[in-house]
């Protein structure tokens, strides 16, 4: 009897063991995709092939002061050394560094606009130690991309372009560049997120990665496990570690093509101020889906105005393609041909309708030209007139007047002056601000080189004064 019980116990344990092993095998088989990249044994093959196409860029820049103190920004992705206090002399020359990569045998090199912005000299060093003086082909501040060129040659090794749209969160990526001037540094990590908006420009759509990106990495390539470029390393998060951002290569390719062909980028222009739909706004306007773009301003005589779009319209689609966020609309319009007629679906007064609009060219609108002296774009921040919805969202009194700062470009003049998203500009040069026109008129009256003083509220209690030089 005892032997029978012992036999039953052994049999039972044996069956449990078989079950555990079987289920373990099933789990292992089901959970491992043989086509997916697990943690690679090493990144040597990718590094050896790609490093030949990655370049070190050194610049000499003439810096114009903005009439205020610089802040010491830890982790500055621009590569220069900001002043911790005081003001440098006007016209100060500053050395900068960055990275870039070859895209063809003709010597064309992609980098960031901020790497070569204001540069009076650009030097490129290849992996084989050869050095060249590079010339600027073209740049696009809106996407922070630039194209430079060195003499072509058979010894150049361009990098192949990948497909950032197919890049998945969690996939391994490799960054190569010159952090802190240390050339040909290789770091690896995963894609942490896609579609990140940092408030640095109208076409933000960044790849977030934990592959180390440090000062000097700007402009270098972000590579997939096939060694193809999927992004251009651009920025890091201030006071953060292990968080870097890259411009998707699919967004960059059209810009690069235009820069190579024309030396500049032309984009379709609609002429509206916009913001994302919040749950509160969706409820207020009676939207079934909490997606779409609210029109906060319509610029007079621009395409949207001519087509009949009005303030408080909600744009939900363009040519049948759904628009969920402001970046969707910005990219769709920017990638459309100037002069093209598009069909815009809007929600107005609880009804949906479609309006046809012929797109203009952004550069032809002087009011919104980034190079216009004293413009909001030149200072690196974007504002909209305060509506009651925005006042409620940002905690201001509904009857308050002013211009709400909705974004500040990192490392811009407005950024260094201390402007922050959510600030409310209430006065300019001691004149109350109620509209964009008030701002523009007062800037026009200010002579070049003179100070522009902005009085702003930060929340409902704090008053801040900001000074900028025109």
Q: Residue 65, class by beta-carbon neighbours within 10 Å (0-12 exposed, 13-18 middle, 19+ buried)?
A: middle
Name the helix (H) or strand (E) containing 97: strand 92-102
Q: Which residues pair with 281 in a beta bridge?
A: none
Tokens of 199: 């408030």
Active site residue 368: no
Q: Residue 398, class by beta-carbon neighbours within 10 Å (0-12 exposed, 13-18 middle, 19+ buried)?
A: exposed
| Rounded distance between C-alpha atoms, residue 210 and residue 199, angstroms | 20
Residue tagged active-site, from 114, 224, 382, 438: 114
Check pLDDT > 70 for residue 348.
yes
Check pLDDT > 70 for residue 249.
yes
Which of 1.20.58.1180, 2.130.10.10, 2.40.50.140, 2.40.10.120 is the CATH number of 41-265? 2.40.10.120
pLDDT for res 101: 97
4-13, 233-242, 385-394: the lowest-pLDDT one: 4-13
CATH topology of domain 370-469: Pdz3 Domain (2.30.42)
Check pLDDT > 90 for residue 287.
no
Check pLDDT > 60 for residue 196.
yes
pLDDT for res 27: 40
| Rounded distance between C-alpha atoms, residue 241 and residue 244, angstroms | 8
pLDDT above 90: percentage of residues in the chain: 33
Residue tagged active-site, from 99, 140, 144, 192: 144
Average of pLDDT values for 220-247?
Answer: 85
Residue tagged active-site, from 192, 200, 212, 218: 218
Block residue for tokens 């999927």: 230
pLDDT bucket at 265, cuts 50 / 70 / 90: confident
For the chain, the structural domain boundaries read 41-265, 268-364, 370-469
Q: What is the pLDDT of residues 134-163, one digit of tens each?
A: 999 999 988 899 999 999 999 999 999 999
Does the fold of domain 370-469 match that of domain 41-265?
A: no
Q: How far is CA 32 from CA 21, 26, 91, 273, in A?
A: 16, 10, 59, 47
Average of pLDDT values for 178-201?
Answer: 82
Active site residue 218: yes
Q: What is the pLDDT of residues 409-452, one digit of tens each?
A: 777 788 888 888 888 998 998 888 888 778 878 887 888 778 88
pLDDT for res 41: 61
Name the helix (H) or strand (E) containing 258: helix 249-262
| Rounded distance between C-alpha atoms, residue 359 and residue 142, angstroms | 19
268-364: in CATH 2.30.42.10: yes
Active site residue 382: no
φ, ψ dihedrals at 142, nearest 5°: -65, -30
Quote the mean pLDDT of the chain: 79
Check pLDDT > 60 for residue 70.
no
- Find how far residue 105's CA is from the centre of its chain: 28
pTM to 2 decimals? 0.61
């Amino acid at each position: 009897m005892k032997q029978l019980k012992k036999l039953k116990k052994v049999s039972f344990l044996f069956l449990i063991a078989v079950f555990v092993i079987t289920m373990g095998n099933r789990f292992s088989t089901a959970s491992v995709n043989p086509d997916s990249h697990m943690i690679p044994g090493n990144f040597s093959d990718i590094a050896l092939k790609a490093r030949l196409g990655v370049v070190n860029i050194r610049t000499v820049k003439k810096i114009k002061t903005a009439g205020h103190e610089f802040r010491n920004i830890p982790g500055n992705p621009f590569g220069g050394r900001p002043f911790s206090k005081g003001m440098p002399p006007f016209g100060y020359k500053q050395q900068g560094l960055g990275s870039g990569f070859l895209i063809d045998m003709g010597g064309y090199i992609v980098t960031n606009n901020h790497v070569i912005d204001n540069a009076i000299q650009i030097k490129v060093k290849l992996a084989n130690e050869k050095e060249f003086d590079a010339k600027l082909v073209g740049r696009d501040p809106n996407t922070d991309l630039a194209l430079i060129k060195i003499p072509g040659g058979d010894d150049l090794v361009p990098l192949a372009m990948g497909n950032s749209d197919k890049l998945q969160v969690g996939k391994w990526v490799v960054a190569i560049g010159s952090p802190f001037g240390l050339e040909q540094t290789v770091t690896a990590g995963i894609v942490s997120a896609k579609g990140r908006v940092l408030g640095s420009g109208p076409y933000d759509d960044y790849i977030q990665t934990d592959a180390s990106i440090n000062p000097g990495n700007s402009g270098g390539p972000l590579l997939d496990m096939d060694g193809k470029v999927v992004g251009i390393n651009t920025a890091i998060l201030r006071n953060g570690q292990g968080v870097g951002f890259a411009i998707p290569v699919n967004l960059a390719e059209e810009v690069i093509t235009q820069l190579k062909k024309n030396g500049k980028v032309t984009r379709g222009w609609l002429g509206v101020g916009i913001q994302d739909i919040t749950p509160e706004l969706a409820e207020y306007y009676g939207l079934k889906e909490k997606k779409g773009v609210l029109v906060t301003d319509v610029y007079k005589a621009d395409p949207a105005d001519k087509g009949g779009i009005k303030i408080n319209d909600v744009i939900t689609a363009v040519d049948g393609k759904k628009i969920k966020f402001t970046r969707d609309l910005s990219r769709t319009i920017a990638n459309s041909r100037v002069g093209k007629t598009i069909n815009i679906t809007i929600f107005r007064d609880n009804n949906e309708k479609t309006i046809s609009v012929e797109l203009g060219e952004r550069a032809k609108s002087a009011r919104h030209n980034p190079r216009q002296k004293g413009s909001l774009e030149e200072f690196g921040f974007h504002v909209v007139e305060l509506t009651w919805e925005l006042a409620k969202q940002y905690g201001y009194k509904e009857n308050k007047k002013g211009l709400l700062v909705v974004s500040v470009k990192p490392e811009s003049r407005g950024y260094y002056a201390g402007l922050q998203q959510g600030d409310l500009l209430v006065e300019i040069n001691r004149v109350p601000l109620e509209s964009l026109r008030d701002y523009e008129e007062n800037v026009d009256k200010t002579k070049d080189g003179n100070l522009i003083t902005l009085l702003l509220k930060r929340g409902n209690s704090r008053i801040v004064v900001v000074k900028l030089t025109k």
